[in-house]
Amino acid sequence: MDSQVRKVDFAVLLREEIGTLKNQVNGLAKDKKDLESRVMELCAEKEEIELDRKNHGLEMFALGFKRAKAHAELFAPGVKFDKMDPTKVVFDGKLVDDDEVAVEGGGDHTPVA
């Protein structure tokens, strides 16, 4: 009979432990869901910051180009600079797209940035 009581007590303890573990699993599942949501938020925030940084770089490039053009107009009055294009490079004495230089292979012709 004593062993029967111990088996019942042990079964009760196991059920309590199972209940405790189920509660922990449920809590951890909620924590996991919250963390996954936070990761998604942080990824979106990171993308926004990277885009802002890229746009800032483009804005600074455009500002630098405008300044350089203004300097050129100051030092060479009367010269027309309206054909200047910040999206092109000088290659073999012509303004061309960067990818045109890459297609031609460059060789000894290094584009001027």
d(CA 63, CA 50): 20
* pLDDT score for 113: 56
Concatenated DSSP letters of 3-20: HHHHHHHHHHHHHHHHHH
- Distance spanning both ends of the chain, measured CA to CA: 94
6: which 2 tokens?
Answer: 């111990």
* pLDDT score for 5: 73
pLDDT in tens, 55-92: 998 899 999 999 999 999 999 999 988 888 888 888 88
> Is residue 44 pLDDT above 60, yes or no?
yes
pTM: 0.48
* pLDDT score for 87: 86
